[in-house]
A and B are shown apart, each in its own frame.
Chain A
Amino acid sequence: MKKLTLTRGGTAHRTIMLVTVLVLVAVALYLPHYYAPYRVFQFTEVLVFAIAVLSLNLLTGYTGQISLGHSFFFAIGAYTTAVMFRDLDVAFVIPFVVAFVVAFVVGFLIGIPALRLSGVYLALVTIALAVITPPLLTRFEGLTGGSQGINIDTPTAPAWSGLADDQWLYYICLVVAAVVFLLARNLVRGGVGLSMTAVRDNELAARTMGVNPAVPKTRTFAYSAGFAGVAGALYTLVVGLVAPGSFTIILAINLLVGTVVGGMATIAGAVFGAAFIGFVPVYTSGINPALGGVIYGAVVILIMFVMPGGVMGLARRIRGWLVTLEEPADRRRASGTGQTETAGSLPAARAGAVDGGTEQSGTTDPGTAQDDRPGEQTTTGDRREN
């Protein structure tokens, strides 16, 4: 079969990307109208777990800090929300924000001692977090409802929407997930994301290049915990019950399984990872209720052998078989230094003579194409004339 050749950021490439995204969005929007309520509920859960898996992937995939304690941050978000719904008459959005902030701050604080540890030592310390979560929740009965947990009323669909409650919940989770995925993508795509992977790949070289490893590590810990908290908040909303038994180390391990199965250091992989931990245990129990756990474990092992890069790694390999992605010719040439408002920190940009040439939009990288503004001028002069 002949391989398709595409130019990165070219019309064909962008069309394919756009169509893919539109199809996915359409499927995501249509799902709750196609399936029965119990299925919709499962998909809603998958969305919740997708946020949690993504949060862990930021930390473990991008900065290489292994956490086996993300059930802790998930529980913080879940209980913060449950307590707020029980004790306060709060508007709908506020619990998400509070859950994010509380988990974010706790995550940041835990991220500081975590700086001194890496690899399996950090994993061990975070296991402690996961282990203490259920007893801690049981202990402070006045606040957490002890082993009984807290019941709250799950939101009902407003009349104007014309939706059933399960559909309404699904859409809430879809919107929140979309926002979190967008924020996470923002974080990893630029220079900050590069500092995260640089620290993971080679901490010493990163430091020599001016990256203070403590910054990406503690900040990522905080954002990761915060997003896990948001997932926990959604969980409370969806399930309507929080109890210590839901936040055991099994949850933390499942999140790590989801991270690896989806693909380390990928954003979209979290959806597949979450679908895996959401659906596969159900199916394996269906095959044989007594051996469900064993079959699930075997499937995880099999996947690690067959697709070590996870679902996204496999997707990239398949794309590699089908498509050759070429860089557009103009990006290979020197385009000089952009004359921008950051020029204050870039002496060369100031020194370069402006020749008034504007870059052609449409031939640049899709990530930057939207930043093309007609007024932005580029120079073709020497990079460093001073």
Chain B
Amino acid sequence: MIDQDEYTLIIKPKNSLLDINFKELWRYKDLLFLLVRRDFVSVYKQTILGPVWFFIQPLLTTATFTLVFSKMANISTDGIPAPLFYLIGVTFWSYFSTCLTATSGTFVNNASVFGKVYFPRLIMPLSIVISSLFKLSIQFIMLLIGWIYYMTTELSIVPNFTILLLPLYIISMAGLGLGFGIILSSVTTKYKDFSFLVGFGVQLLMYATPIIYPLSLIKNPNIITLVSLNPMTGLIEGIKYGLTGHGIYDLGLLTYSLVFTIVLLFVGVIIFNKVEKSFIDTV
């Protein structure tokens, strides 16, 4: 048998479930940064407006939502001015949905690179989450401008100290997007059916999250339970509450979201780690 101590690397058919090489992941940190840079730089190359597109997307979505859901359908926005209400929802939801959708294609989209060279595969989805974070921070600047504007004009907008939890909310959303994404990308390598699910699944999930309606609007307790089962619900409501003072700040809901994130990430990384070893044979 091959002596474990004598060699620096042993290639074996299958490793144990929890054999995740964090040291190796750290060694490839430069690659992570360069990939983040690549994602960021390459997206808007050869466009006239360039990074301005980062603003156009949420602005137009917010305008449409305001028009359709607030003006036409008269859905309550919980005392928050409709544009601000939708802008908050759209900005953070798009971060989550980008993380999820982009990471869910990790294996299939990178098959040509993964098939030729080895590096810790987890680097790819991580780079997506981080580069989306840059996009989020740019969009957040725009949100801040709108927020400050409404804070000075509307007396009802009163932020509070729970806003300090914002980084935690964002990390949790990133974790959820990454977790769902890598699980989906793992199962898609063998069963392509799931790639069809991702696109409209995320869209449907948005309606199960208080983005276009406030949680307080729902009166039926069964539906409240159902919507609360969505780990994004507590986070979005928490952000709204912190920024505006309107919304539901519920420790139970938030704890549920955090625990959900941790469990999901744990399961996701295990599955991803198992699949990455030989996915190239089935993709």
Partners in one complex: no
B-binding residues in A (CB < 8 A): none
A-binding residues in B (CB < 8 A): none
